[in-house]
Amino acid sequence: MGIVGQLILAYLAVLGFGLIINIPRHALNLAGWIGTLTWGFYLIVQAFDGGIVLGSFIGSVGIGVLSSLAARYKKMPSIIFNIPSLVSFVPGSQAYQMVRNFALGKYDQAVGFMLQVVVITGAIALGFLVAELLNQLIAFCRLRWQQVRS
């Protein structure tokens, strides 16, 4: 599975989730591109042995900033872009392993997976927080730039 293949799959997955939660038609393509780009960030972090947690953090920062830019560009709420883009980062596989090991009675492994789920979810939340900070910084710079130009 090459990098290009992964990026195409990320685009398709975001598109599919967008269809399920019914985002407006002309936002689908842009949401897909945000998903692809942030999965690219994730893959870059992976290539430098950054681990899943740092990858999810960088990815969610990217989703937060890009969604805000897309929201301003398309004049739509930003959740339309960031909810479908996030689908590739949801720790679904770890959550499933947690449930499976609890059901089978292997509690030590189950707790290990549970910690992974908690840490990844926390990284995504923290990423959103940092993205919010960057968004305000971008808005401030934009305001200043307009003041300087006029």
Partner 1 sequence: MTTDELIIATCLKAGKIMVENGSEISRVDDTMTRIAQNAGVVQANTYVTITGVMMSIQGRNATQIASVTKRTIDLEKVAQVNQLSREFAAQQIDLPTLHTRLGQLDQASRSFPLWLQLVGAALVSGPLMIMFRQETINTWPTVVIGTLGYLVFYLLNRYLKIKFLSELVAALFIGFAAEWAYQVGWGTNINDIIIGALMPLVPGVPLTNAVRDILAGNFVSGPARAVEALISAAALGFGIAVVITLF
Residues that bind partner 1 (CB under 8 A): 1, 6, 9-10, 12-13, 15-24, 27, 39, 75-77, 79-80, 82-83, 86-88, 90, 92-93, 95-97, 99-100, 102-104, 121, 124-125, 128-129, 132
Cβ at position 138, least distance to partner 1 in Å: 18
Q: How far is the CB of 3 from partner 1 (least distance, A)?
A: 12
Whole-number Cα distances in Å, 96 to 9, 54, 90, 102, 124: 21, 21, 11, 10, 18
Q: Which is closer to partner 1, CB of 115 or CB of 129?
A: 129
